Chain A
Amino acid sequence: MSTEASPVIVKMKFRSGPLAVRAALAHIVSELQPMNWSKEDLGTVEIVLAEALNNIVEHAYTGEDVAGPIAIDCRAQTSALHVRIIDDGHPMPDEQPPELTEANLDMDLLDLPEGGFGWYLIRKLANDVEYRRENNQNVLDLHLALAASA
């Protein structure tokens, strides 16, 4: 089914920043309530979007006091959510989103990783991830399969 045929549920644009991400997530989750997805599915959506947006704040717009626009477009069907996120920041390394690499926790407690979980969670939870560099912008498409609650 064509992504473009799905109705737009949320369309928003904001300036990057950790608190702005919080506000954007709250807005999106509230706008998705009419889809009647389970609380668990909404939690999954929030995790994936939070990680994608935090990555933009931390990596695409790097440096002190560097912020920029983030545009989000969510299209939903009964059992699927398609999210397109566009920013004007730096490209991803090698213009590729990170692949799924399993975390190795078989180590001394004090050597446990404190970061690098973001893309891991996106890869685990999203059914499909597409990234491209276009017109000096990052375009990230995330597809999630969800089940409407009975």
Chain B
Amino acid sequence: MNLSSTTDGNRRVVTVNESRIDAAVALTFKEQMRTETESGPDTVILDLQQVQFVDSSGLGAIVAAMKTMGKGRTLALAGLNPTVSKVFQLTRMDSVFQLFPTLDDALDSLDA
């Protein structure tokens, strides 16, 4: 599971350099997200622009990552393709996360 991150002021962008967040990698994703977010800014943008597919295990791992960050911090999601968006919409998780069409949209909306 390849994640990379950059910090820009009060925001950290964690980029998923993988095409899938699925049952095969959900646990690893969750653990690596803990490492990427345990310190640093309160606002984290998860850049999903390279991700083609998220299944329910991947969705659960993203929810777990947000819960691990704790209250008072924000996990925003950017760059969801239509199939990934569908999973969030159907499970109504689109009401739990801030979703942005692109990383630039997220960076424009969330203050540095």
Contacts and interface: CB of A to CB of B under 8 A. Distances in A.
B55 A51 contact: yes
Q: Which 3 residue pairs are nearest across A and B when measured between Cβ atoms? A: A43-B83, A18-B24, A117-B56
A84 B107 CA distance: 45
B110 interface: no
A117 B59 contact: yes
Interface stretch (A7-15, A60-68, A86-94, A106-114): A106-114
A76 interface: no
Nearest to A120: B91
Contacts, number: 84
B63 A114 contact: yes
Contacts of B90: 120-121, 124-125
Nearest to B89: A124
B53 interface: yes
A39 B86 CA distance: 12
A117 B91 contact: yes
Given A47-B87, A58-B23, A109 B71 contact: yes
A74 B110 CA distance: 45
A40 B82 contact: yes
A21 interface: yes
Interface in A25-83: 39-40, 43-44, 46-47, 50-51, 54, 57-58
